[in-house]
Amino acid sequence: MQMKNTAVLKVFVVIILVSFLGYFVVRDASSGITGGFVVDNEETSESELLAGEPTPEGSIFNKLLTLGEEGTVLDYTSSLLNNILALRTASNNKQIVEVAGLVSEVDKSVEKLNVAEVNYAWNEVLGCVYENCGDSAYVNLIDQIATKDLKAPTNELLHSLIATYGYWNGKTIVEFSESLSKTDELIKKLKDSNAVAAWESLVECNGVCEDFSARLFTVMEAVVVSEN
């Protein structure tokens, strides 16, 4: 009788142990490697940023909106883009004193912005600014800044303009046509005579003029100035 009671007790203990073990296995499986803590993932994909979709608090978009000192994000990026365009002109004209001052201003703004893609593009310009940067370095830097806030009409236009410029150099008919139409629509919506005239000059060139890229920068300068 005593042996029978002992066997029953052993079975009862095994059941309790299995129950506890099952509880922890199920809990771990449901919570993953975080052990049941909720992970707040604030990372935002580049595609979401480029699409101009609202992004979570703490993202690049919200960081730009809270920069503060210069007012709105448009005021901030407009000033930065103006300095980059002026830097290109000073660099091309070998005005090294002007280049030095503009490098300092742009570097402060880029550091404050603290966006990896912009930092990389800016470092590319820094590597050649006292020598002879190709226009593509400045185009890339401007586009990296513009695409971080496509809700701003000027930034949307600059990004569309740069995309159209790229298609001109390597045409795929459908994409080029769609991009050209979109940029033309955004330029006209801007209702700035200087920007429209510069755009029409670029279109007339149709990608074959020797000063094609120079005309692109004339359009960009007119677009940025139109917001000041």
Other C-beta atoms lying within 10 Å of the C-beta of residue 89: 14
Domain boundaries, the chain: 2-34, 51-226
Query: Degrees (nearest 5) of the Cα angle 88, 162, 91?
Result: 5
Tokens of 155: 């930034």
The pLDDT of residue 78: 84
Tokens of 146: 């513009």
pLDDT tens column, 81-120: 999 999 999 999 999 999 999 999 999 999 998 899 999 9
Other C-beta atoms lying within 10 Å of the C-beta of residue 228: 8
Enter the pTM of the model: 0.69
Cβ atoms of residues 36 and 27 within 8 Å: yes
Report d(CA 18, CA 23) in Å as an integer: 9
130-167 burial, b for 16+ CB within 10 Å, e for fewer? eeebeeebbbbbbbbbbbbbbebebbbbbbbbbbbbbb
Report d(CA 89, CA 154) in Å as an integer: 21
pLDDT tens column, 16-40: 444 544 444 434 433 332 333 222 3
Sign of the alpha-carbon torsion through 58, 120, 86, 192: negative
41-72 burial, b for 16+ CB within 10 Å, e for fewer? eeebeeebbeebeebeeebbbebbeebeeeee
Sign of the alpha-carbon torsion through 168, 172, 176, 177: positive
Report d(CA 3, CA 7) in Å as an integer: 6
Residues lower than pLDDT 50 in the chain: 1-9, 11-14, 16-18, 20-72
